[in-house]
Amino acid sequence: TSMQNTGIAPIYDELVKFLVAENPERFAHFQTTEKMRERVWELVRREKSGGVAEQEKAELDTYDQLEHVMRLAKAQARLNIALRPEAP
C-alpha cells in the first residue's frame, strides 16, 4: 500500500513507510506529551495575537510539518493493520 497517488512529496511517502513498518499498532496510537501539546497551543495563541517571535514562528512551522507527516503515518499504520492477513 502506498500514498503515491495522493500528491504528496515522495520523501513523505518513503518516510511514512519507514516509520510504520516495524510496529503499526504502536505508531497508530502514538500521542505527543501534554507538555508538547501545551507548547504548540501557546505558539498558536501567540501567532494569532501577533506576538510570536520569528524563532517561535519557525518552531511552529516545524510542528505543522511534523503533524502532517504524523497524520499520514497514522493513516498508513491503520491501513497496514486493516489489510494485514489474519493469523491462522
Q: From first to last of its 88 residues, what are the pLDDT tens digits of the chain?
A: 444 455 667 888 898 899 899 899 998 999 999 999 999 999 999 999 998 999 999 999 999 999 999 999 999 999 999 998 875 5
Gap between the Cα atoms of 73 and 38, Å rounded: 22
- Is there a domain that residue 77 lies in? yes
- Is there a domain that residue 21 lies in? yes
**pLDDT score for 1:** 46
Q: Which domain holds residue 79?
A: 4-83
**pLDDT score for 85:** 84
**pLDDT score for 87:** 56
**pLDDT score for 61:** 95
pTM for the model: 0.76
Query: Cell triple for residue 67?
Result: 503533524
Gap between the Cα atoms of 18 and 75, Å rounded: 13
- Is there a domain that residue 63 lies in? yes
- Is there a domain that residue 53 lies in? yes
